[in-house]
Structure 1
Amino acid sequence: MTKRPRNDDYISITKRKRHLTLWFDDGNIILTTNASLFRVHRCLLSMNSPVFADMLSMPQPEHVEDGYEGFPLVEISDNDTDFTHLLCFFYDHRYYQGGSETTFEKISGLLRMSTKYQMDDLRDEVISHLAMAYPSTVKKYLEVVNGETPLPLFPPFRGQHFAVVALARETDASILLPAALWRSMCMPTRDILKGAVDLNGTRYTLSPTDIELCMLRKATVYKNLVRAENTLSNILKKSECIRQRERGDPSIWPCIEIAKSKVVHHFSSHGPPIRDDYDLMIDMRAFEAWRPLVCDSCRVLADLKVSVWHEDRWNSLPALFDLPR
């Protein structure tokens, strides 16, 4: 952590800028990234991170030859923005509060830094915050994607799901991966292959391995969805309206016939355009077309079946994306 970075972007100490707010006149150690200089307090670093505590517990020489302005100098290899967020949190824990709206830059930087510097409480809080949008249960997931749960997370942006996948992979936040990979897989094919660009011109991409994984699984899941849509109406063979029709009531038109006709229309050339950016967990367009047209008994039967499918699909996500259970 204290070695000089060996790359073409190295900037000499004399050309780095003192940070405007993280330079304290009574600070007793200088930390520097490849862009900024921070004069901070050894005790505060040690109190917040066991990594800093171990590093700074080593005896310091009385005369610092390789220091800066007479103070010990420690070069930090971390990204300047990420490390700045960490120091801001050290000096004011209100700088980040889980459950309050923030920015993706801040939350991702703090997750990387809390992971590296073994700040378990902060790391758990950030992951819990992200899990509001990328939950670990199907119930929470359905509430999120259906807009039933307000998300004081960060302003959404194009490529967000790809960014969260990359962040979760980098920091070993595996609890976020099933939902993040699923939502990435449901993005348009072009975005999966080429990446998505946000309003600031930043392009977010999946790794080559995750691109291949999402593309292969997208085809498999879509085929399963088509099969499910075409067979769902079969459950209505057990409905009350079928039994009434069989008992000779000619006024009853079995709901299964209504459902099957809507399914045929949906997948015919006259049906709605088929896109590739549906959330395949919840978007059953043929079902939604016939659901309001059938009787209450048939609707309950179908809803129960769909609920079981949701649970089964969700439980299969680790296997689908080759993740540990």
Structure 2
Amino acid sequence: MASRSTLRRHDALYFDDGNIVMSATSANNPGSVVFRVHKSVMAKHSPVFADMFSLPDTGTAAETYDGAPLICMPDAAEDLQKLLEALYCQPPFSLVPLSPHNPSIARPVLALSTKYEITHLRQLIVDRLEADWPLTLEKWDALEDMTMSQRSHHYRFPGPFIDDLFPEPASAIRLAHDFDIPTILPAAFYHLLRIPVADDWNLLHKDSPKATAEALWTGRRTAKWDLLRAEDLLTVLRGRDALLRALNAKMFSISLEPEHPEDEERCDKFEGYSALIDIVKGYFEPTT
């Protein structure tokens, strides 16, 4: 427990009528932050907190702060703040549709809502992620076509970065593994397969030369490759190899002399893409 001199009350999440105080160590500043909240609010949302508060004389035998029982939390103060804001503040916690920043914004709230079994808050985040990463390729293609059409209609060059209009796949994949959300993996891997390893988010999103900015403005997409686990990188390599083999087989099977001349364009346009759909659906579909 930090000394009293190193405890700092949170400006917004310290309620005078609260009946429980939580302290948590700050990752960015020395000392600990204390939050004064309400047992009834916390217990309503979380069975873990409900069980904790049902113990006799919660915290009083150990220590009190400002006349209320004090609980030392194992979580980072910054993460606990995000969770309490999601439970207390208005408007309620929300994520911007298709934002590439959703995984980083959602991570602390998702982590603690999972840990403390706040199911409605976890489900809200999962629903948003599943909307960002459609469960079928057909829905992903429709979303991608709509977004690109809106960009071309409303913006002139240079316009916004393409990356700003679509979710970022590597951070989504890492989040899916860390918090058991397998449903978003197929679309996230599919999107990642089309991004060259050289197109790295951390490099191209820095203050960069004009040529790099133009590359992003005109359609190059990037990924946060450094967030991927080794097994995810291996999955990408295997997926790309499978795609190349499938596409080569499809292209080899196309007749050089179709019965109807108009079929030639159709073959070039759809046969390879059909193979891509089949292989991605089969390769990245989460197993049950």
Equivalent residue of 1:77, what SS? coil
Aligned to 2:139: 140
Aligned to 2:16: 25
One-letter code of the match for 1:324? T
Aligned to 2:74: 77
Aligned to 2:159: none
Aligned to 1:316: 282
Larger radius of gyration: 1
One-letter code of the match for 1:240? H
Aligned to 1:251: none
User: Do the aligned partners of residues 13 and 62 (structure 1) sit closer, same or farther apart at CA in structure 2, a change above 3 Å counting?
Assistant: closer
Q: Is the 8 A contact 1:239 1:298 kept in 2?
A: no
Single out whichever of 86-95 and 300-309 deviates more from structure 2.
Answer: 300-309
User: Do the aligned partners of residues 16 and 100 (structure 1) sit closer, same or farther apart at CA in structure 2, a change above 3 Å counting?
Assistant: farther
Structure 2: any 5+ residue segments left out of the alignment? 27-32, 152-162, 208-223
Single out whichever of 32-41 and 105-114 deviates more from structure 2.
Answer: 105-114
Residues of 1 paired with 2:59 and 2:195: CA distance?
59
Residues of 1 paired with 2:132 and 2:231: CA distance?
23
Aligned to 2:260: 240
Single out whichever of 97-106 and 116-125 deviates more from structure 2.
Answer: 97-106
Aligned to 1:47: 44
Aligned to 2:236: 214
Residues of 2 paired with 1:73 and 1:300: CA distance?
70
Residues of 2 paired with 1:101 and 1:240: CA distance?
42
Q: Is the 8 A contact 1:115 1:123 kept in 2?
A: yes
User: Do the aligned partners of residues 157 and 64 (structure 1) sit closer, same or farther apart at CA in structure 2, a change above 3 Å counting?
Assistant: farther
Aligned to 1:109: 108
Equivalent residue of 2:11, what SS? strand
Residue 225 (1) aligns with residue 247 (2): yes
Residues of 2 paired with 1:14 and 1:134: CA distance?
47
Higher relative contact order (CA 8 A, sep 6+): 2
Report deviation, 1:143. 2.0
Residues of 2 paired with 1:79 and 1:147: CA distance?
40
Q: Is the 8 A contact 1:232 1:302 kept in 2?
A: no
| Equivalent residue in structure 1 for 2:57, among 50, 56, 60 | 60
- The within-5 A match list for 1:134-283 is 134-148=133-147, 156=164, 160-190=168-198, 196=202, 199=205, 204-228=226-250, 230-231=251-252, 233-234=254-255, 237-241=257-261
User: Do the aligned partners of residues 225 and 305 (structure 1) sit closer, same or farther apart at CA in structure 2, a change above 3 Å counting?
Assistant: closer
Single out whichever of 200-209 and 66-75 deviates more from structure 2.
Answer: 200-209
Q: Is the 8 A contact 2:59 2:69 kept in 1?
A: no
Q: Is the 8 A contact 2:60 2:70 kept in 1?
A: no
Q: What TM-score does the superposition give when structure 2 sets the normalisation length?
A: 0.72
Q: Is the 8 A contact 2:111 2:179 kept in 1?
A: yes
Report deviation, 1:171. 0.6
Residues of 2 paired with 1:13 and 1:157: CA distance?
47
Tell me how many residue pairs correspond in the alignment.
Answer: 252
Residues of 1 paired with 2:126 and 2:12: CA distance?
28
Report deviation, 1:101. 7.6
Percent identity for Structure 1 against Structure 2 = 23
1:292-322: CA deviation from partner (whole Å, max 9, x where unpaired): xxx3x54456655456434412321336xxx
Q: Is the 8 A contact 1:50 1:117 kept in 2?
A: yes
Equivalent residue of 2:195, what SS? coil
Residues of 1 paired with 2:165 and 2:140: CA distance?
19
Q: Is the 8 A contact 2:49 2:116 kept in 1?
A: yes
Report deviation, 1:59. 1.7
Report deviation, 1:18. 1.6
User: Do the aligned partners of residues 215 and 237 (structure 1) sit closer, same or farther apart at CA in structure 2, a change above 3 Å counting?
Assistant: same
Q: What TM-score does the superposition give when structure 1 sets the normalisation length?
A: 0.64
| Equivalent residue in structure 1 for 2:83, among 81, 86, 109 | 86
One-letter code of the match for 2:275? W
Equivalent residue of 2:246, what SS? helix
RMSD over aligned CA atoms reads: 3.6
Aligned to 1:269: none
